[in-house]
Structure 1
Amino acid sequence: MTITIENEASKELPFDYKALIERVVMGCMDYEKCPYEAEVNVLLTNNEEIHKINKEYRGIDRPTDVLSFPMVDYDKPANFDPLENASEDYFNFETGELVLGDIIISVDKVYEQAESYGHSLERELGFLVAHSMLHLFGYDHMEEEEREQMEARQREILNGLSILR
């Protein structure tokens, strides 16, 4: 498993954020029963930078908390069966790992939302990583049913890792 974490944020996270990110990524991999070793890239940034990325890639002119850039096209969320026949499309040629995609998180939003929701920075960062990982597995929340399914999965993942509100 390759988890690359880059921190370009101006605010410091006063805990071992790398260990937390790795724990949540692995917890999501286990929860979704991903049968492959995988590659995930995580960038921690600030509101200004995520605003630019959000505007460029989504056409939304404001900062957001997290952006997900999945590399796998699933026929249904977390269905890994068809991927065996598409190894050249989704797997890193050198490592053999499934390239899930990229996660970008605003540390400014981690602080803002932790305070707003009345929970710890660790809980907020863990939630954003779990949320984004589910996007990398093909889940979405555009429809009410999808939103409910995604929220239930996030809750189960975080509860299973004892990352509580």
Structure 2
Amino acid sequence: MTLNFEYETEIELKLDYEPLIRRVVERSLDTENCPYEVELNIILTDNTEIQAINKEYRGIDSPTDVLSFPMVDYETPADFSHLEEEADDYFNPETGELLLGDIIISVEKVMGQAKEYGHSEERELGFLTAHSMLHLFGYDHMEEEEKAVMEEKQREILDSLEITRD
């Protein structure tokens, strides 16, 4: 597994974020039975930068907590069965790893939402990572049924890692 981390803000997150994100990514891959080693880009930034990205790609001119940019097209969420048919589109030719996509997280939102919801920054960062990973697997939360599935999967991932709201 290759995780490419970029920390693009002067705002300091006061926790060891790389091992935490790595654990959540690994558990997400296991939970969804991903049969491949993956390559993933994780960018930690601030509200100003994530707002600019949100405006450019989603047409929403406000900061958000996390953005997910999947590189894989799924017929149904986490259905990896067709990927090898289109290997040139989905796999790094040098490493053979599945190019899963990009996760962009606002450090400011991690800190603010942890305080707002009364839990740790570790829990908030873990939650946003799990949430984003599910988007990279093709899950969404636009409909109530989809939202319920995503919420249950997020809870399963975080609970199994003992990343709780306490």
Do structure 1's residue 120 and structure 2's residue 120 form an aligned pair? yes
Structure 2 counterpart of 1:62, which letter?
S
Count the aligned residue pairs.
Answer: 165
User: Any residues of structure 2 matched to 1:103-142 within 5 Å, and which?
Assistant: 103-142=103-142
Q: Distance in 1 between matches of 2:27 and 2:40?
A: 13
Say if 1:45 and 1:106, in contact at 8 Å, map to a contact too.
Answer: yes
- Over residues 92-118 of structure 1, what are the superposed CA-to-partner deviations in whole Å (9 max), with x where a residue is unaligned? 111100000000000000011001100
Q: Distance in 2 between matches of 1:152 and 1:160?
A: 12
Say if 1:9 and 1:106, in contact at 8 Å, map to a contact too.
Answer: no
Q: Write out the 4+ residue segments of structure 1 that deviate beyond 3 Å after TM superposition.
A: none
Q: Distance in 1 between matches of 2:10 and 2:60?
A: 23
Structure 1 counterpart of 2:128, which letter?
L
- Over residues 69-93 of structure 1, what are the superposed CA-to-partner deviations in whole Å (9 max), with x where a residue is unaligned? 0000000000001112111110011
- Over residues 125-148 of structure 1, what are the superposed CA-to-partner deviations in whole Å (9 max), with x where a residue is unaligned? 000000000000000001010001
**Match for residue 94 of structure 1?**
94
Do structure 1's residue 164 and structure 2's residue 164 form an aligned pair? yes
User: Any residues of structure 2 matched to 1:55-70 within 5 Å, and which?
Assistant: 55-70=55-70
- Over residues 41-66 of structure 1, what are the superposed CA-to-partner deviations in whole Å (9 max), with x where a residue is unaligned? 00000000000000000000100000
Q: Distance in 2 between matches of 1:105 and 1:15?
A: 14
Structure 1 length normalisation: TM-score? Answer: 0.99
Q: Distance in 2 between matches of 1:68 and 1:10?
A: 22
Q: Distance in 1 between matches of 2:4 and 2:43?
A: 8
Alpha-carbon offset, residue 12 of structure 1: 1.1
Cα RMSD over matched residues? 0.6
Q: Distance in 2 between matches of 1:163 and 1:136?
A: 21
Runs (5+) with no aligned partner, structure 1: none
**Match for residue 147 of structure 2?**
147
**Match for residue 75 of structure 1?**
75
Secondary structure, counterpart of 2:82 in structure 1: helix
Q: Distance in 1 between matches of 2:49 and 2:13?
A: 17
Structure 2 counterpart of 1:39, which letter?
E
